[in-house]
Amino acid sequence: MAVPVNNGLVVCSDKRLLNETTGSFRDDFVKLHKVSDRSVFVATHTTGFLNKTTGKMGFDIFDVTQNFVARNAFLPKREYWTALRNEIQAKLSSYLSSQKFQDLPETDAANNRLLFNLVFFSVDESSIRSYSISVFYEKALRPVINVADVVTETVRTPKLIGKGKDVMMLFARDPSLGRDPTILKFDQSNFSSAKTSVSDAVSFASRLFKLTSSELPQAAVSAAHDCALISYREGFVWLNDSGETVTK
């Protein structure tokens, strides 16, 4: 989730890494990746595939993207996004073409063939933006991959990605959960970033992760989480659960 605050943007992510094949998971996986002093990327949904022979990741969108941003200075222009999309297409195609048909992942029909979302957040002197790339996949003898064009948004209110839809459905089923004071003030209808502190945003994120972990176990979201602030003045810093700067 990403929350605009009075001095920048707080970005938080849970730490669960789920092996969908075995059902096993770990809750120590860092999903927030610094791109530059003013930008960060995250990815949601099916972000990688394990090689059944070696037990190592055969494809990992975090590694693909991290390698790309290490070689290319962040510049949110059409050329930058085209190059990244082409690299994702090439790496994913190479991995899938090396697999036997019976070992290919199934199509996620329930989510319109979505494989994963890759999202960048950046902050400049006066605005906050997100850049989202959705990758769609269909199982076939020749796997079908569609890396969509980047979608750019100005972030003015809290933005939930990944399991945000599940959380909203939970609140619809049990409205009392949404009346928690640490959550209620983040309702988009009355949200004000100018009146929202870093500690407010971290408390909100912590509450949502814990709530999702306990009330929606099928969402595979951990209570353990990471948060970072991209401030207008100081840039990228890691945060603890009190919203204070820490060193990692």
pLDDT at 138 over 90: yes
- Whether the CB-CB separation of 51 and 99 falls below 8 Å is answered with no
In this structure, the number of other CB atoms found within 10 A of the CB of residue 157 comes to 15
Mean pLDDT (whole number) for 106-131 = 93
As given in the structure block, the two tokens for residue 65 are 């993207």
pLDDT at 21 over 70: no
pLDDT at residue number 63: 95
d(CA 57, CA 204): 33
pLDDT at residue number 164: 72
CA distances from 196 to 3, 185, 213 (A): 9, 9, 25
Lowest pLDDT segment from 28-32, 127-131, 148-152, 169-173:
169-173
- 3 vs 218, more confident: 3
pLDDT at residue number 36: 96
The fold of 2-238 is Glutamine Phosphoribosylpyrophosphate, subunit 1, domain 1 (3.60.20)
The DSSP secondary structure of 183-222, one letter per residue, reads HHTT-TTT--GGG--HHHHHHHHHHHHHHHHHH-GGG---
Ramachandran assignment for 220, one of left (phi > 0), alpha (psi -120 to 50 degrees), beta (any other): left
Condensed to tens digits (0 to 9), the pLDDT of residues 54-91 reads 667 789 999 999 999 999 999 999 999 999 999 999 99
d(CA 127, CA 78): 19
| Residue 247 pLDDT class (50, 70, 90 cuts) | confident
pLDDT at residue number 7: 93
| Residue 172 pLDDT class (50, 70, 90 cuts) | confident
pLDDT at residue number 53: 67
pLDDT at residue number 166: 79
Rounded percentage of the chain residues whose pLDDT exceeds 90: 65
In this structure, the number of other CB atoms found within 10 A of the CB of residue 151 comes to 12
pLDDT at 206 over 90: yes
| Residue 149 pLDDT class (50, 70, 90 cuts) | very high
- Going through 15-127 in order, the beta strands assigned E by DSSP cover 17-18, 25-26, 33-36, 39-45, 48-50, 57-60, 114-123
